[in-house]
Amino acid sequence: MTTPILAFDETVRQRVSTRAFLPTPLTDEQLQEVLQDAQYSPSNCNTQPWNVHVVSGETKNKLAQAMIANDLAGKQTPDFSFSYDDFFGDYYTRSQDQARLYYDSLGIARDDKDKRHEMYLKNYQFFNAPHAAFLFMPSFGDNIRVASDIGMYAQSFLLSLTARGYAGIPQTLLGFHADIIRAALGVPDDYRLLFGISFGYADTTAPSAKIRQPRLPVATSVRMHG
């Protein structure tokens, strides 16, 4: 096994959501190391409910085309809802701020709907990443706890990528066409698609590569008692 190149404090601080990738794929060995790291994630009662489908090459390209065609036809089939309108107050403001920072980095004006839609569709092209992982889960109860297990897995996966010199981005949008992904990958109907992760090597020359989304001070998020 190769040795991760970053220490933990560097890993968590250097992990960012990458939206421009080089075409270079990871080798099978590199891919297995990341997947092995992610297996160590904690889960409720050690159920290890992550069911992961990794796509590359022609399979990935065909899925990109299918998702874009489906989206343009207005046929989204997400297993779980998502709407910016569900955010409120400071949470809504932060969601707007993060979008502004991204579009500003690309020189896209707020009212340029066509360009913004073009960038939105890049999600379905995996931002040109050579690989993507679709994170499926069984349905337990109201799905909240199993979804949190998938989140744990995703963060391990993302940190492993960073520590080993690769890059990734978690994407809710990769769950917006769950029906066609399930059909294409032979996933049973009772497995839900929470989100996907595009990954590979970052294109560090891309304008979006410079973005660092700000974080709140600890005292805003955490209260100490006793």
Residue 204 makes contact with ligand FMN by CB under 6 A: no
Identify the DSSP state of 185. H
Residues 11, 156, 160, 171: which binds ligand FMN (CB under 6 A)? 171
Stretch that binds ligand FMN, among 31-39, 49-57, 63-71, 170-178 (CB under 6 A): 170-178
Q: Cα-Cα-Cα-Cα dihedral of 13, 16, 22, 23, to 10°? A: 110
43, 145 contact by CB (below 8 A): no
Stretch that binds ligand FMN, among 30-38, 109-117, 163-171, 198-206 (CB under 6 A): 163-171
Report the candidate in 82, 181, 186, 188 with the shortest Cα–Cα distance to residue 138: 188
Residues 126, 134, 153, 195: which binds ligand FMN (CB under 6 A)? 195
To which residue do tokens 């499926």 refer? 136
Stretch that binds ligand FMN, among 1-9, 15-23, 60-68, 135-143 (CB under 6 A): 15-23
Residues 37, 170, 178, 192: which binds ligand FMN (CB under 6 A)? 170
Distance of CA 125 to the CA centre of its chain: 13
Extract the tokens encoding 11.
Answer: 């890993």
Give contact residues for ligand FMN (rule: CB under 6 A).
16-17, 19, 98, 123, 169-173, 195, 213
